[in-house]
Amino acid sequence: MTAAVAFVAVLTGCSSGSGSAGTSQSPAAAGPVKLDFWGWAPGYDQSVAMWNKAHPDVQVTFDKIPSGSKGGYTKMLTAAQAGNAPCLGMVGYETMPSFAAAGALMDVTQYMSPAQSQFASWTWNQVTIGGKTFGAPVDTAPMALIYRKDLFAKYGISKPPVTWDEYAADAAKVHAADPSVSLGDFGNDSYNYAGLAWQAAAPWFGTNGGSWQVSVNSAANQKIANYWQGLLDKKLLKTDPSFDPSLYSDMASGKILSDVNAVWDTPILASSVKGTSGKWAVAPMPVWDANNPVYGNDGGSATVVLKGCAHPKEAAEFATWMSTDPGSVSNLIKVTGIYPAATSGLSNPALSQPDPFYGGQVVFDVFKAETPHIDTSWIWGPTMTQTATDLGDGLGTSAKGTTKLPDVLNTVQTKTVAQLKQQGMSVS
């Protein structure tokens, strides 16, 4: 039994919606079928254009909206509740349970099932809850260390840190040489922080019978919090907000030497600090145990069919095509920075291309090597929108020194349990 199936009763048993709006055949249409698609990732519009050129009978319009955490998810949920949602939406795996609990997704199992064998099983589990499939997986998001080769050499770091102990030692070395320079940045991205927890086998959610379990402040999670709090206490890290212009300014000027982030961050960084092209490289994410390396995952998303879609069959066909068509996948690798969820995508030639920004390195080789060492049993809870907001706020105050990370986790734990109970869900 998959984790997604295991918690379906817990997720939907007390929710106001079924997570489905029917699976009837699409009505006959005069002229081309028209589908709206809401999302925010770069490159999606180019894949849509490829589809439209090859499928004159089904035309997709891509509308760029704010990212999910910056209002996109609220916009989709509001539209679904009002009955005027687009047919297709970009939804991160972490938010799928929240959308299902809100009844905002359409069950398209009958249209999607034939495609199941084309995807890595754990990614299929991310879009399937209680035996109902709501869309197609797009990508996974293994994490790595993106770093400045020239500045590592300047500050006497002969090789990228393999372990988190080495990372801390290198951070201290850089700080001792120049207190205005830092090895890395501690931002306020709650999902990046989730990737650190994922790596350390420190889950936030689980299920027990008919109840949710919440473990945001478990001993395993407190270990991670204490590690990063120690670096903050010694002022060994910059504290620019995640994805803020100040972060890229510090990276461009050599004040921040590295970033622990997901595969999709590699093109974002390249486009944000173009003047440093050729000076960067990608290495595996530091691990807790060099003899048993385990890595984290920060993201991964699906193309879902939203409640009320008048053409679920065509929507499912497009979602499958976008994730599996070689041309579309090649585009998404190059522009969006995805690591494909479709098994055929793992042999896409775009993954083998040297990247000039990273000194000609084939950066996807790093993520390919890490992927077998990522725990795929991690599950997300149905309150991640609220949990992520609370954690992001706490990470920001910790960066400013007004709170401590262990205390932040205690607060998030309390608020998450309260939110689950408020929604009528059982918590053990």
Assign 3-class secondary structure to the chain. Answer: CCHHHHCHHHHHCCCCCCCCCCCCCCCCCCCCEEEEEEECCCCHHHHHHHHHHHCCCEEEEEEECCCHHHCHHHHHHHHHHHCCCCCEEEEEHHHHHHHHHCCCECCCHHHHHHHHHHECHHHHHHCEECCEECEEECEECEEEEEEEHHHHHHCCCCCCCCEHHHHHHHHHHHHHHCCCCECCECCCCHHHHHHHHHHCCCCCEEEECCEEEECCCCHHHHHHHHHHHHHHHCCCCECCCCCCHHHHHHHHCCCECEEEEECCHHHHHHHHCHHHCCCEEEEECCECCCCCCCECECCCEEEEEECCCCCHHHHHHHHHHHHHCHHHHHHHHHHHCCEECEHHHHHCHHHHCCEHHHCCECCHHHHHHHHHHECCCCCCCCCHHHHHHHHHHHHHHHHHCCCCHHHHHHHHHHHHHHHHHHCCCCEC
| pLDDT value of position 12 | 45
Q: Which amino acid is at 8?
A: V
| pLDDT value of position 70 | 86
| pLDDT value of position 23 | 39
| pLDDT value of position 20 | 40
Domain with CATH 3.40.190.10 in the chain: 3-140+300-347, 143-297+378-422
Query: How far is it, in rounded angstroms, from Cα 282 to Cα 269?
Result: 12
Percent residues over pLDDT 90 in the chain: 91
In whole angstroms, what separates CA 111 from the centre of its chain? 25
> HSE (CB half, 13 Å, CA atoms) of 128?
22
CB 163 within 8 Å of CB 288: yes
- Does the 3-140+300-347 domain belong in CATH 3.40.190.10? yes
Q: Which amino acid is at 182?
A: S
Confidence band, pLDDT 50/70/90 cuts, at residue 3: very low
Confidence band, pLDDT 50/70/90 cuts, at residue 7: very low
- Condensed to tens digits (0 to 9), the pLDDT of residues 37-73 reads 999 999 999 999 999 999 999 999 999 999 998 899 9
| pLDDT value of position 423 | 92
In sequence order, the β-bridge partners of residue 207 are 212
CB 19 within 8 Å of CB 77: no
| pLDDT value of position 11 | 55
Nearest Cα to Cα of residue 10 among 94, 91, 101, 74 = 101
- Condensed to tens digits (0 to 9), the pLDDT of residues 330-386 reads 999 999 999 999 999 999 999 999 999 999 999 999 999 999 999 999 999 999 989
Q: Average pLDDT in the 92-109 region? A: 96
CB 212 within 8 Å of CB 10: yes
Q: Average pLDDT in the 85-105 region? A: 96
Query: How far is it, in rounded angstroms, from Cα 132 to Cα 206?
Result: 20
Sorted by sequence, the CB contacts under 8 Å of residue 334 that are 6+ apart come out as 43, 267, 350, 353
* Superfamily covering domain 143-297+378-422: Periplasmic binding protein-like II (3.40.190.10)
Q: Average pLDDT in the 234-253 region? A: 97
pTM (two decimals): 0.91
- Condensed to tens digits (0 to 9), the pLDDT of residues 122-145 reads 999 999 998 999 999 999 999 999
Asked whether residue 173 carries a pLDDT value surpassing 90, the answer given is yes
Query: How far is it, in rounded angstroms, from Cα 408 to Cα 393?
Result: 9
CB 320 within 8 Å of CB 34: no
